């Protein structure tokens, strides 16, 4: 068989069920074999290559294994770069397959040639270029390595660039002999991620927790990377430690839990930031101390830091760690739970101080909007107040829903106010802050778990970076719901210009935007446009009841703040 067919078969063996892509001349042999080999893999035709990457990312975050995006050489491949960089920043395992020009023409600047391994070098965990047909037989090994590298250690994107003649090369390959990477991890000399934590450091962790009066757990995206949510909750409960989370860590701990403090950082609420400022022991679990989450000045406050991360380079990079624990967060939490003394005292004083009299499920989370000194004047202005809106959404949305947020005010509102329970997931572009992520991510997430309600929340700015994917949703029957928070502004930039640039509002007005309901209608999608608080409940009920894609446009005040 040719290498292209071997590639298809290897992907099947790796458990790939859906791939997201966009064809072109240099990747045609692969597309040919998808059909000729009667592949079980469903190909989802996105309407822009970046969205293929974002969709693979959304699917991988839900399926918990690497997912695949495909593009052709040149512009198709370069369009993938933003998605690859987005996945890299958030440590999401995706495999990017790109066609490349004929191997003999590489370096001659022929039509649709781009040096992809060179271009993505800063944004991939690893990359491969099969330089000549002689290397075609290496493809199965490379696929196994790519899945292994993407999924293990600190997850991340891997790119495989395959010239058209290499795809067409006949190789001897037996499908039955191919062992998927998860069952038969390849031996790679330079790649040996650590698994369990150093025993001595674990002992020091236990001692530090026992000594601490005001400990705090900070949960990051790494918790999801190893599906360690339940273990983390057991740890927090047994050691009686309040939990804050980074943006990437949202939904790793139930919002209504008595120990839940919410998202910390520059865009976070008061409670989690107060917790950070006043704790005496900070336990970072799979969080890399991004500047928006923990400012360097925090390190001068004198709390002790335990940093658990699988990537040794993150430990001590942005915050000095007294106790570094390099390891798989799942394994490390198991080690900690095993050694944690049974008679460990409670931290009643600290917990009561932070979390007041919150008890059990009756807790009412203080909305960030409560901090606002504005009186709610939304009714007069014919707009919906975000506070009302998220209140209704939290009431009506299933607790195990998947919610994606874009970038801008919609992201901060959602991050601070969405309340999800066990199994619920919040997905957003945390590190890169990539506009246009929410819809394709939701498309992928829905494929990752078709049973779940998937809702994408974006702004009227970011929606216009991704609405071409409405066609993808219709074509492939992907029933996600989209909520557009509309204020005819690039709201986050407007806010920044107001606060830091003397209100010199420049290039933030979205005049010329279409009527989104008419646009949805053009795609055969139903929707509703609301501009009054009293319509929120009914509109959300209709949206959630819909068995098909649905769009809800919510008018919000242009003066609304994200940091409330």
Partner 1 sequence: MSQANHNSNNNNKEKHTISALVENNAGVLSRISGLFARRGFNIHSLAVGVTEVPDVSRITIVAEGDDYVLEQIAKQLNKLVDVIKVRTLPKHGSELLSRELMLVKVSCTPSERQELIAIAKINDAKISDVSATAMTLELSANQQRLSAFEELIRPYGIKEIARTGVIALQKGATSLNS
Residues that bind partner 1 (CB under 8 A): 117-118, 121-122, 125-126, 129, 131, 149, 188-191, 291, 296, 299, 311-313, 316-320
3-class secondary structure, 143: helix
Q: How far does CA 196 lie from the centroid of its chain?
A: 25
Minimum CB distance to partner 1 smaller for 108 or for 189? 189
Q: What is d(CA 538, CA 519) in angstroms, rounded to the nearest whole number? A: 22
Minimum CB distance to partner 1 smaller for 149 or for 458? 149
Compute the CA torsion angle 366, 458, 533, 355 (nearest 10 deg): 0
Minimum CB distance to partner 1 smaller for 294 or for 540? 294
Minimum CB distance to partner 1 smaller for 104 or for 211? 104
Minimum CB distance to partner 1 smaller for 138 or for 559? 138
CA 29 → CA 4, 97, 252, 255, 399, distances in Å? 6, 13, 41, 48, 44
> Shortest Cβ distance from residue 389 to partner 1 (Å)?
36
> Shortest Cβ distance from residue 153 to partner 1 (Å)?
9
> Shortest Cβ distance from residue 156 to partner 1 (Å)?
10
The two tokens of residue 45 are: 């035709």
> Shortest Cβ distance from residue 129 to partner 1 (Å)?
7
Q: How far does CA 351 lie from the centroid of its chain?
A: 30
> Shortest Cβ distance from residue 118 to partner 1 (Å)?
7
Looking at the DSSP bridge assignments, the partners of residue 520 are: none
Minimum CB distance to partner 1 smaller for 121 or for 515? 121
Minimum CB distance to partner 1 smaller for 296 or for 450? 296
In degrees and rounded to multiples of 5, residue 243 shows phi and psi of: -120, 125
Cβ atoms 249, 232 nearer than 8 A: no
Q: What is d(CA 133, CA 427) in angstroms, rounded to the nearest whole number? A: 40
Cβ atoms 439, 458 nearer than 8 A: yes
> Shortest Cβ distance from residue 124 to partner 1 (Å)?
10
> Shortest Cβ distance from residue 290 to partner 1 (Å)?
11
Minimum CB distance to partner 1 smaller for 35 or for 266? 266
> Shortest Cβ distance from residue 456 to partner 1 (Å)?
32
CB count in 10 Å sphere of residue 343: 5
Minimum CB distance to partner 1 smaller for 297 or for 503? 297
> Shortest Cβ distance from residue 131 to partner 1 (Å)?
7
| Size of the chain in residues | 564
Q: Is 339 exposed, middle or buried (0-12, 13-18, 19+ CB in 10 A)?
A: middle
CA 186 → CA 179, 205, 271, distances in Å? 10, 33, 46
Minimum CB distance to partner 1 smaller for 115 or for 278? 115
Which of 77, 52, 64, 188 lies closest to 126 in space, CA to CA?
Answer: 188
Residues 6+ apart with CB under 8 A from 514: none
CA 40 → CA 15, 30, 34, distances in Å? 10, 14, 8
Minimum CB distance to partner 1 smaller for 192 or for 395? 192
Q: What is d(CA 47, CA 30) in angstroms, rounded to the nearest whole number? A: 19
> Shortest Cβ distance from residue 126 to partner 1 (Å)?
4
> Shortest Cβ distance from residue 115 to partner 1 (Å)?
10
Q: Is the dihedral of CA 358, 361, 364, 367 positive or negative?
A: positive
Cβ atoms 244, 355 nearer than 8 A: no
Residues 6+ apart with CB under 8 A from 276: 216, 218, 244, 264, 282, 294, 298
């Amino acid at each position: 068989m040719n290498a292209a067919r071997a590639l298809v078969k290897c992907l099947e063996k790796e458990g790939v069920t859906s791939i997201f892509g966009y064809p072109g001349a240099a990747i045609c042999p692969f597309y040919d074999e998808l059909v000729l080999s009667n592949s079980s893999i469903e190909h989802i035709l996105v309407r822009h290559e970046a969205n293929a990457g974002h969709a693979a990312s959304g699917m991988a975050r839900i399926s918990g294994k690497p997912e695949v995006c495909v593009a052709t050489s040149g512009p198709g491949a370069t369009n993938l770069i933003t998605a690859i960089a987005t996945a890299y920043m958030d440590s999401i395992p995706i495999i990017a397959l790109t066609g490349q020009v004929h191997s003999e023409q590489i370096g001659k600047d022929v039509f649709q040639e781009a040096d992809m391994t060179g271009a993505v070098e800063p944004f991939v965990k690893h990359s491969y270029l099969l330089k000549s047909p002689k290397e075609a037989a290496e493809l199965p090994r490379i696929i196994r390595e790519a899945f292994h590298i993407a999924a293990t250690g600190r997850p991340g994107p891997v790119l495989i660039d395959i010239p058209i003649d290499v795809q067409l090369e006949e190789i001897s390959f037996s499908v039955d002999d191919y062992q998927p990477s998860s069952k038969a991890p390849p031996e790679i000399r330079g790649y040996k991620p650590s698994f369990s934590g150093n025993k001595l450091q674990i002992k020091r962790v236990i001692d530090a927790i026992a000594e601490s009066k005001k400990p705090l757990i900070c949960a990051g995206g790494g918790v999801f990377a190893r599906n360690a949510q339940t273990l983390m909750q057991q740890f927090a409960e047994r050691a009686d430690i309040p939990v804050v989370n980074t943006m990437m860590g949202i939904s790793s701990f139930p919002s209504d839990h008595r120990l839940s403090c919410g998202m910390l950082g520059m865009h976070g609420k008061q409670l989690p930031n107060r917790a950070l400022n006043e704790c005496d022991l900070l336990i970072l679990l799979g969080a890399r101390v991004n500047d928006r989450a923990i400012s360097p000045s925090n390190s001068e406050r004198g709390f002790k830091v335990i940093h658990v991360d699988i990537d040794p380079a993150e430990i001590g990079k942005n915050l000095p760690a007294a106790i570094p624990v390099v390891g798989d967060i799942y394994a490390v939490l198991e080690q900690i739970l095993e050694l944690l003394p049974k008679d460990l005292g409670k931290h009643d004083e600290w917990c009561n101080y932070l979390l007041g009299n919150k008890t059990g499920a009756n807790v009412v989370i203080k909305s960030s909007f409560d901090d606002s000194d504005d009186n709610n004047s939304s009714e007069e202005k014919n707009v919906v107040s975000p506070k009302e809106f998220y209140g209704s959404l939290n009431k009506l949305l299933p607790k195990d829903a998947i919610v994606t947020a874009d970038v801008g005010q919609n992201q901060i509102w959602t991050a601070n106010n969405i309340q999800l329970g066990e199994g619920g997931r919040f997905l957003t572009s945390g590190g890169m802050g990539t506009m246009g992520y929410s819809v394709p991510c939701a498309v992928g997430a829905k494929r990752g778990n078709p049973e779940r309600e998937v809702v994408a929340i974006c702004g009227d700015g970011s929606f216009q970076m991704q609405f071409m994917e409405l066609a993808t949703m219709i074509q492939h029957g992907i029933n996600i719901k989209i909520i557009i928070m509309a204020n005819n502004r690039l709201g986050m930039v407007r806010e920044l210009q107001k606060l830091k640039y003397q209100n010199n509002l420049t290039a933030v007005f979205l005049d010329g935007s279409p009527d989104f309901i008419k646009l949805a209608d053009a795609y055969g999608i139903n929707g509703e446009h609301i501009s009054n608080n009293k319509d929120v409940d009914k509109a959300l009920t209709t949206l959630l009841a819909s068995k098909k894609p649905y769009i809800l446009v919510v008018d919000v005040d242009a003066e609304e703040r994200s940091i409330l």
